[in-house]
Amino acid sequence: MNTLRVALDGPAGAGKSTVAKRVAQALGLTYVDTGAMYRAVTWKALHDQLDLSDAAGLTQLANQVQIDFKPTAAGQDVFLDGQDITEDIRTRDVTSQVSAVSAVAGVRLAMVEQQRNIAARTGVVMDGRDIGTVVLPNAEVKIWLTASVEERATRRYQELIDKGQEVDFEQLKLDIQRRDEYDSGREHSPMKMAEDAVLVDSTGLNIDQVIEEILHICRQIVAQKS
């Protein structure tokens, strides 16, 4: 099981990172949050006040930065060139610019190379938008995790309220829809379900139920292959 590669893709707020973390723990695999990698590059570009329409500049940046994950009890911390940026990459600023940065082909090439290098060393649960289609097309397990946009926005809203942030529900829902459209409409590696992925619709399911369903799919596939 510890060489298994699980590709977990889907739209914003579907529950990918929450579920991927716990599935990885349960199966003894390494969790790789590829969204955090695109967020890290975006954070650095904003921090350095780069021109976000300069594809060459963003590509150079993506090839220079060192992104590391360190596991913690709650999940994992994200470091860029040794600096802890776990909280910084979740700001609204980063969230609103990340789709534009991750649409740049050179940025994607740099991140995909790093993602494949990790998966070459260890079994993974990797979550993102293009894992089953581009990053790990031969992954043993491919899941497309989704939920209605209303439910995804409600989850995100609750998460931000719990953190004490002020949020407008309709604006949040629009932001999610806009990001999904951008991610699925881009030219390079658009967000899309792999043809051989299993669809898991988590609308109306709690986190434990989704994890159970995904673990069941993983175990079934492993049993079929052995």
Q: Which residues here bind ligand CDP, judged by CB under 6 A?
A: 10, 12-18, 34-36, 38-39, 98-99, 102, 128-130, 155-156, 159, 179, 183, 202, 205-207, 210
Handedness of CA 25, 149, 88, 102 (dihedral sign): positive
Paired strand residues for 6:
125, 141
In angstroms, give the least distance from the CB of 209 to ligand CDP.
Answer: 7
In angstroms, give the least distance from the CB of 112 to ligand CDP.
Answer: 8
In angstroms, give the least distance from the CB of 146 to ligand CDP.
Answer: 9
Q: Are 85 and 40 a contacting pair, CB within 8 Å?
A: yes
* Nearest CB to ligand CDP, comparing residues 86 and 222: 86
Cβ contacts of residue 220 below 8 Å, gap of 6+? none
In angstroms, give the least distance from the CB of 18 to ligand CDP.
Answer: 3
Q: Are 34 and 115 a contacting pair, CB within 8 Å?
A: yes
Binding residues for ATP: 10-18
* Nearest CB to ligand CDP, comparing residues 35 and 123: 35
Binding residues: 10-18
* Nearest CB to ligand CDP, comparing residues 166 and 224: 166
> How far is 98 from 27, CA to CA, in rounded Å?
30
Backbone φ, ψ for residue 153 (5° rounding): -65, -40
